Amino acid sequence: MKAWQSGIVRQLTHARAALERNLAGTLQAIHLFGSAIDGGLKPYSDIDLLVTVNAPLPDPVRYALMMDLLSISAAPGTNETHRALEVTVIVRHEVVPWRYPPLRELQFGEWLREPLQHGCVEGATVDHDLAILLTKARQHSINLVGMPARDLFDPVPKEDLAKALFDTVAQWNSTSDWQGDERNIVLALARIWFSAASGEITSKDAAAAWVLERLPDVYAPVVHTAREAYLGSGRDDLAGRTDEVQAFIYYAKAMIGKHSLAKPS
């Protein structure tokens, strides 16, 4: 058994069954990507799945799929046998041929648990993050169903990857934008900074290590804490360090803005 398979085979089997059952007749591909196969799952890592269909989903199918996924996912660190699932569904003709910004058909994640439990299911929406996601999937993924991602999707042009990075960073402007999610935002900024400088995509911990080599000492403790907590070797106390987190976020945004790759044309 390969390293990425350890501990997630059963959950992946259930997820694939739910997807195949609900998307019968329209399912084209299921790709596993992210830390499960790129750097290894960490204590709080999600299992990332990209699902491709050939037509938009009717509302009853959308709801049934979300309820099924809800039953086989768990919030990070809360369940000994289940990890958080993050499942993104796209209609292939919405991204092939490629155009920006792309349309996302559906997304499931643990941050949606409460709305889903109240019957709130989001419809299709424009999602600039798909430029980053598809770049990651084409770079490194395993096709559980269908053809390899490199054969199924067009490459995302560098200028569109740059726009997606810039649009993502533009979401984080004040404390309320990252409150309660400090670790993830700090690590996301580290990855975006790395991508803005290199044009490549890497894991959260590798990006944080890269940033730490370039970061003034005053900002380093925040990134170090986020990285150690993500790796499971340190305590996440960033929620109580508001000023430090804010200072790093503003500094990282400024540095990202200096890289021409991260500026929209």
Where in the chain are the domains? Answer: 3-156, 162-262
For 33, the 3-state DSSP assignment is: strand
244 is catalytic: no
Find the catalytic residue in 80, 86, 213, 228: 86
**Phi, psi torsion values for 39, nearest 5 degrees:** 100, -15
Distances (CA, A) of 36 to 48, 50, 93, 109, 199: 8, 13, 27, 16, 22
The average pLDDT across 87-101 equals 97
Please tell me which residue, 45 or 173, carries the higher pLDDT value. 173
pTM, two decimals, is 0.86
Which residues pair with residue 143 across a beta bridge?
31
The average pLDDT across 133-138 equals 95
Lowest mean pLDDT among 116-130, 224-238, 249-263: 249-263
Burial per residue of 29-60, b for 16 or more beta-carbon CB atoms within 10 angstroms, e otherwise: bbbbbbbbbbbebbebbbbbbbbbbeebbeee
For the chain, give the percent of residues with pLDDT over 90. 80
In CATH terms, 3-156 corresponds, of 2.40.50, 3.30.460, 2.20.70, 3.30.2400, to 3.30.460
**Residues 13-52: tens digit of each pLDDT:** 999 999 999 999 999 999 999 988 877 788 878 999 999 9
* pLDDT for residue 16: 98
Q: Is the pLDDT of residue 6 over 90?
A: no
